[in-house]
Amino acid sequence: AQTVTQSQPEMSVQEAETVTLSCTYDTSESDYYLFWYKQPPSRQMILVIRQEAYKQQNATENRFSVNFQKAAKSFSLKISDSQLGDAAMYFCAYRSASPYGNQFYFGTGTSLTVIP
């Protein structure tokens, strides 16, 4: 089974600064999808950004961008101009592109604190 590792249980960033959350994964597949989800204290998981493995261009959504290094199996999330509302747990997730790949595999999460 694929594994997803988030090595930073907790991170903090000053408001308006930039922070990078790391994620690595282990797979033998060549085609897959990677996701970052945000879980605020309200508990609902919210999709932040998605990356398709066959695309070399890094995905970007407003202040959120990823650094996807396929050979290194690394998928970090960069949050620019951090805002108080960015404070949450962030989960990295992997999904196979195979029609038989049913599961999403999640990392253990990184708790992000934003300091005013």
Q: Which of 25, 68, 75, 91 binds other proteins (CB under 8 A)?
A: 91
- Strand runs labelled E in 8-54: 10-14, 19-21, 24-26, 32-39, 46-52
CB contact at 8 A, 34 and 4: no
Mark 24-43 with x for binding to other proteins (rule: CB under 8 A) and - for no binding.
Answer: ---------x-x-x----xx
- Whole-number minimum distance, CB 17 to other proteins, in Å? 25
Task: By CB under 8 A, tell whether 103 contacts other proteins.
Answer: yes
| 8, burial (CB in 10 Å: exposed 0-12, middle 13-18, buried 19+) | middle
115 contact partners, CB below 8 Å, separation of at least 6: 12, 13, 14, 15
Q: Does 98 bind other proteins (CB under 8 A)?
A: yes
Contact between 52 and other proteins per CB under 8 A: yes
User: Does 101 interact with other proteins (rule: CB under 8 A)?
Assistant: yes
Site of interaction with other proteins (CB under 8 A)? 33, 35, 37, 42-47, 50, 52, 91, 95, 97-99, 101-109
